[in-house]
Amino acid sequence: MSADKINKIKALVAGRSSEEALSILGREFSGRIVFSTSFGLEDQAITHIIFSHDLPIKIFTLDTGRLFPETYSVWNSTREKYGKKIESYSPNAETVQKMISAKGPNSFYESVDNRLECCYIRKVEPLQRALKGNEVWVTGIRKEQSSDRNNFSSVEWDEKNNMVKYHPIFDWNIEQLKIYIKDNNVPYNTLHDKGFPSIGCQPCTRAVKEGEDIRAGRWWWEDTNKKECGLHAK
């Protein structure tokens, strides 16, 4: 079944622009296709495509409770510009309370296991709720974001969530993305102008230094080349 769905979507998007592909998928899977945004450059570009073309693709975000003020600001600016709703999914309050009571507010600095636990509670579990009942998950993944993401493809099967993932700007480079944002006057997170190519939770994200990998600012205290929170793990 997974192979059938992947082949179907690959056939639908083959040779299409990002706008054309999303329009086709929106019609084909209306009510069963969603896009997850964290309000970074990639996600803002896709949000612009969906909202400006009034595509039947629901947009949602994961409000972890520890986002940057700038992220909330661009969230609000996006709502104002397009006049459309972005669904919000938050972590289970009781689960967060238990974790913080047992380990403190910053336990993620102490071990990889603790960090993954926090990511699971604040991001992975809410994501599973957001994806439930859908067949296609649209994301802003680009292959140049990290060496690990070079192993991805624009259409793939997500075994964990039992659905197809589609990355409409998978082959875009960063300059192409910035030009698109500027030309279309898309609201964006001002932290991108301050050395933050990748923006997640405030305690777990820093600006990158010149010459560093673009993912170096995420969970920078961990000695690993594979820095993922579990949302897009293979």
Annotated active-site positions, please? 229
Nearest to 139 by CA among 231, 63, 76: 231
Measured between alpha carbons, how far is 168 from 174 in angstroms, rounded to an integer?
Answer: 14
Measured between alpha carbons, how far is 46 from 59 in angstroms, rounded to an integer?
Answer: 10
Q: Name all contacts of 2-9 with Cβ < 8 Å and 24+ positions apart.
A: 2/157, 2/159, 2/164, 3/157, 5/135, 5/157, 5/164, 6/155, 6/156, 6/157, 6/164, 9/136, 9/155, 9/164, 9/166
Spatial neighbors of 125 by CB under 8 A, at least 6 apart, are: 91, 92, 95
* Helices marked H in 53-111: 69-82, 93-103
The residue whose two tokens read 């706008």 is 19
